[in-house]
Structure 1
């Protein structure tokens, strides 16, 4: 299956602290490349996986399940843990959902950074899966004039998989204890901002912070607040790398 140009997996080998960066539903690594590159410039070992069924065609995505998407992240974690003693996980949208799942599964995760993470999207509940195979595209919700590489239509079967993933992760939020930094756009036309509030209240992390993005829509990693996300997430990595070293 041919991969869209710009949707390829991103890997940088650096120091012994790894950072996994994941984009979400129907998106590609293009939308999180600025983050991945900024982390690599600071010396971190970085991996941004191409989720199975993403960055190819909607028809290809239609054949995958959320277990395949989790497995794509697991492969990235394996690559990072072969090189690093600890890993931070960063996720945009469904990438944030996958970051939460990863934090539950791996003790090596020392902290997670979520950007407009998704655990419930009520608008998806009204899609009639019996009468349509594809719906309008989801994504490209950006306040500035940036371009996002994503699909031009969305498989309904994949929407059902996303709902199953979000439901499963919602049930696990109380199992998360690692430090967590959440970014939430005050105006998001894809994932209701309330998602981040629920995550913030539900995780059992002693060290957690919620940062409001006042000048970005859903794909904040390409929007006006992307520099703020870079700066604050890098500070987060440094803070909890130092904390671990002191412990």
Structure 2
């Protein structure tokens, strides 16, 4: 998405890496407040240099972005696969069946979802999962205070964040101007889906 924005706009773009995240995960001992504080620091730097600031949040970052929208003078908010709820059992079952099929074919290590799930399970300590739940619980009550224009995008076959999460956000966010988009063939990593071009155009149109 960043490459798309760089091609179609002249905006200054920052992509902060939250504590414990990155190429390899190191989440042990990290609290959810550290994630919020880091996002606040990055945003404050942008607000010091930019007249207009938009915030885009993906997955857990969608909740953090919503928090920022309540406490800072952001102009518009984009929420992608935002995790107000976590795990979509029905879709997760479908994904697991596909992994089992690939396993029988000897292609499991080529299965993109398997690679991502395995990494997440190996590198995410239980304590970090609990911190995520605390973050969600602390920010959900604030959603009614989000009043800036908001766009919510959600993949319909997301096995990590269920579509009801997007519906919940759309209902709870108090912004008079808000938009909800479902992408039929997209899983959790919505910016890497086959429908990403459509999504990126929708985002730029909404922000402009």
Q: CA deviation at 1:79?
A: 2.0
Residue 36 of structure 2 corresponds to 70
TM-score (norm 1): 0.69
Aligned counterpart for 1:186 among listed residues 156, 166, 184: 156
Residue 190 of structure 2 corresponds to 220
Q: CA deviation at 1:200?
A: 0.2
CA distance in 1, matches of 2:68, 2:196: 24
Residue 156 of structure 1 corresponds to 126
Aligned counterpart for 1:113 among listed residues 65, 74, 78: 78
Unaligned segments of structure 2, at least 5 residues: 89-110
CA distance in 2, matches of 1:122, 1:236: 28
SS for the counterpart of 2:29 is coil
Unaligned segments of structure 1, at least 5 residues: 1-34, 124-143, 239-247
TM-score (norm 2): 0.81
Residue 230 of structure 1 corresponds to 200
CA contact (8 A) 2:87 2:161 kept: no
CA distance in 1, matches of 2:143, 2:178: 13
Q: Which has the higher contact order (CA 8 A, sep 6+)?
A: 2
More helix by share: 2
Provide closer, same or farther for how the CA distance between residues 82 and 148 of structure 1 changes in structure 2, counting only shifts above 3 A.
farther
Residue 53 of structure 1 corresponds to 20
